Amino acid sequence: MHVIGELAAILATALFIFALYWMNDPKTARRGVIAGVTGMTVAVLATWIQPEILHHGWIVGAIVLGFAVGIPLSRVPLTAVPQRTALSHAFGGLAAGLVGTAEYFLWLGEGSAQLTPFRMSALVVEVILGYLTFTGSLMAAGKLQEVKWIPQRPVTYPGQNLVNMGVLALAAGIGVALVLHPDAAWGGKAFIAIGGLALAFGVLLIIPIGGADMPTVISILNAYAGLAAVAMGFVLNSKLLVTAGALDGSSGLILSIIMCRAMNRSFSNVLFGAFGKAQPAIAGGEQKAWKQETVEGAAQLLEQARTVVIIPGYGMAVAQAQHKVRELYDALTKRGVTVKFAIHPVAGRMPGHMNVLLAEANIPYSALVEMDEINPEMPQTDVALVLGANDVVNPAARYAKSTPIYGMPIIDADKAKTVLAVKRSKNPGFAGIDNELYGLDNTWMLFGDAKAVVGDLVKQFGSGGIH
Amino acid sequence: MTDFGSMLFVFVLATFIGLGVIRRVSRLLYTPLMSLTNAISAIAVVGSIVVTGADHPLEIRILGAVALFASMTNIVSGFMITDRMLKMFKKQ
C-alpha cells in the first residue's frame, strides 16, 4: 500500500510540473489541464484506498457537495473571474486552517508527545496562513463583487499598521509559547486564539486596500494560499503537498512581483500604503479643456488610419464591451487597418484579466501585445483608442512626483498621432487622479458607456455611414 | 518521526522548479495560470481525506469534511474554468 502511495505522489508531482510547463504557450496549455486533472485523480485515489480510511460515505458526501458548488463557480461570467479566484484562495486557506486545527486536537488527544516542536511550529504556521488567507480573500472577493456592506474605498485610521502588526505579532507570540509548552493546560485555548487572531488579521489586512491594487493583492493571497498548503505538507509529512504548495506559492510570488513592478511599488507599499485615497489634483498647471469628438468624426479618424492601437481597461470589462470591440476590430481589419491591443500588466482586476476578456470575444491572441512591446510602436501609431483605461495611460506617471502613480510604467498613448479616449463621465479614475492625457492637443474625448460608444462606432462602418 | 531536513529540501527544490517553470508561462495566460495553480494546490484534498475518513472523533471528522468540501470545490471549479478560458485563446 505504502509503495502505491509513494509512486502515486511522484507521478502526480511530475504531472503538476508538466501542467505548468505547458502553460508557456496557448497552443499547448489545454494539455496542462488534462495533466493536472490526471495527477489530481491519481493522488486522490491512492489516498482513498489506504486501509485507515473507513468512513467512505463522508468522503463521497463532501466530494459531491464540492462538485455541486464547484461546477456553477466555473461558469461565472469572465468579468467575475477575479472574484471567483479570490474565493478559491479563500477556500484553499480555509481547508489548510481546518486540517491544521483537526490535526492539532487529534495529536493533543493522543498525548503531548505527539506535538513535537517541528510539528507544532508547522501547525502554527499552517493555521495562521490558512485562516488569514481565508478572511483576507473573502474580503477581497467581497470588494471585487462590490458587496454592499464591504466598503470599496480603502478604510484607513491612524495607527492602522501598528494595530495590524500587533495582531499578527500576538498570534505569532502565542504560537511560540505553544511550541515551547505543547503540554500546557491552556494549549487548546491558545491554539483557538491563534486561529481567531489570524482570522481578524486577514480582515484588517484587506480593508485599507482599494480596487486598483487588486491585481497585486490577489497575487499575494495566491502566494499565501500556496504557502499554507506547504505548511500543511510539513504537518502531514507529505512531499506531494509540499511540492504542489510550493508550485502555487512560487506562481503567486512571481505574479506579485510582476504586478508590483507594473505599478512601481513594493509589496509593503501595496499592503500597508493604502493606495487609492483621494489625492490632491496635480499641483500647478490649470486644467486644460477637454475637446469632444462626435462618433462620426471618430469613425472617420479610425477609417483613415493605417494603424490603430486599442488600450482596454477595467471600464471595458464593467461595460461588457468586449464583443462590440470585436465587431470594431473586424470592421477595421476588413478595411485594411492594422489593429492591435495594448495590454498593461495591471489593466483590470487581476493578472491577465484583459487577455481573457478579449479572447472570450474571439479576438486572436496574436493581436494582444504587451506594454513593453507596443510602446516603441506608439509614435508610428495613427490612432490610439483608450477604452476604459485611465491610470495606465496617464502621462503624469512619468514626472508628477506628488501623485501615487509616479514612476508607474504606462502605455505611451499620448505619443500616438491622435488619441481617442472613451470615458463614461468627467470624473477622475479609480486612483482619483486627473488624467493629463485628456487635455493634450492630440486627444479627443468620446463621452459615454464604452459598449454604447463602440457600438455606435461600429454602426458608422455598417450601413450608410462610411463606405 | 518526521524528517524536517528532507521536507525542507523538497520545499526548496520545488520552489526553484516552480520559479523556473512559472517564469516561462505566457503572459497572455496569467488568469488561467492562477486558476490552474489554485486547483493544483487543492491537492490539500489528500490531507482532508485522511482526516475525514479515518476512525477519528466526530468533531475532527466534521472539520475534515468541511476542508474536503472546500478543496474539492477548488479542484472542480479550478480545472473547469481554466479549461473554459484556455479554449477561448485562438491564434486566428
Pick the closest to residue B75 from A458, A67, A137, A298 (CA basis).
A67
Which helix (DSSP H) or strand (DSSP E) does residue B72 occupy? helix B58-88
Nearest-5° Cα angle at B83, B80 to B84: 85
Instruction: Supply the DSSP symbol for A13.
Output: H
* Interface ipTM: 0.96
In this complex, do B50 and A236 lie within 8 Å of one another by their Cβ atoms?
yes
pLDDT at B4: 84
Q: Measured between CB atoms, does A76 come within 8 Å of chain B?
A: yes
Give the least confident one: A121-125, A170-174, A235-239, A337-341. Answer: A235-239
Q: Please state the rounded mean pLDDT for residues B24-33.
A: 95
Tens of pLDDT along A156-202?
888 888 899 999 999 999 999 999 998 888 999 999 999 999 999 99
Other beta carbons within 10 Å of B37: 32
Stated pTM of the model? 0.91
- What is the pLDDT confidence band of residue A150, given thresholds at 50, 70 and 90? confident
Dist CA A393 CA A441 (whole Å): 15
Q: What is the largest CA-CA distance in chain A?
A: 84
C-alpha cell at A2: 505504502
- What is the pLDDT confidence band of residue A3, given thresholds at 50, 70 and 90? confident
Other beta carbons within 10 Å of A361: 17
Contact A98, B70 (CB under 8 A): yes
Angle between helix B30-41 and A81-109 (nearest 10): 20
Dist CA A174 CA A181 (whole Å): 10
C-alpha cell at A249: 506559492
Dist CA A282 CA A371 (whole Å): 25
pLDDT at A406: 87
Question: What single-letter amino acid sits at A362?
Answer: N
Write the CB contacts of A339 (distance below 8 Å, at least 6 apart in sequence): A307, A308, A309, A310, A329, A332, A333, A367
Closest Cα in chain A, distance from residue B19 (Å): 6
pLDDT at A277: 44
In this complex, do A241 and B47 lie within 8 Å of one another by their Cβ atoms?
yes
Write the CB contacts of A185 (distance below 8 Å, at least 6 apart in sequence): none
CATH topology of domain A295-461: Rossmann fold (3.40.50)
Dist CA A376 CA A415 (whole Å): 10
| Known active-site residue A391 | yes
pLDDT at A283: 42
Dist CA A17 CA B26 (whole Å): 15
DSSP string, A46-92: HHHTSTT---HHHHHHHHHHHHHHHHHHTTS-GGGHHHHHHHHHHHH
- What is the pLDDT confidence band of residue A462, given thresholds at 50, 70 and 90? confident
Residue A423 exposure: Cα atoms within 13 Å on the Cβ side: 23
Contact A446, A316 (CB under 8 A): no
pLDDT at A155: 83
pLDDT at A174: 97
Pick the closest to residue A358 from A390, A331, A388, A326 (CA basis).
A326
Other beta carbons within 10 Å of A60: 12
Other beta carbons within 10 Å of A257: 14
Give the least confident one: A29-33, A281-285, A405-409, B72-76. Answer: A281-285
**Burial call B19-32: b when 16+ CB within 10 Å, e when fewer:** bebbeebbbbbbbb
Dist CA A88 CA A91 (whole Å): 5
Mean pLDDT of chain B: 93
Out of A33, A99, A238, whose CB is closest to B79? A33
Q: Which of residues 52-71 of B touch A (CB under 8 A)?
A: 52-57, 59-61, 63-71
**pLDDT > 80? residue A278:** no
Contact A171, A198 (CB under 8 A): yes
Which percentage of chain A shows pLDDT scores above 70?
93
Backbone angles phi and psi of A312, in degrees to 5 = -85, 155
Tens of pLDDT along A56-114?
999 999 999 999 999 999 999 999 999 999 999 999 999 999 999 999 999 998 887 88
Out of A23, A69, A366, whose CB is closest to B25? A23
pLDDT at A280: 42
Backbone angles phi and psi of A213, in degrees to 5 = -90, 0
Out of B7, B45, B82, whose CB is closest to A33? B82
In this complex, do A29 and B32 lie within 8 Å of one another by their Cβ atoms?
yes
Tens of pLDDT along A420-458?
999 887 665 555 567 889 889 999 999 999 999 999 999
The size of the A-B interface in CB pairs under 8 A is 367
Q: Measured between CB atoms, does A50 come within 8 Å of chain B?
A: yes
Other beta carbons within 10 Å of A121: 18
Pick the closest to residue A265 from A251, A255, A275 (CA basis).
A275
Q: Measured between CB atoms, does A73 come within 8 Å of chain B?
A: yes
C-alpha cell at A388: 476604459
Contact A383, A308 (CB under 8 A): yes
Question: What single-letter amino acid sits at A208?
Answer: P
Angle between helix A117-145 and A187-206 (nearest 10): 30
Which percentage of chain A shows pLDDT scores above 90?
70
Mean pLDDT of chain A: 90
Domain parsing of chain A, residue ranges: 1-53, 80-272, 295-461
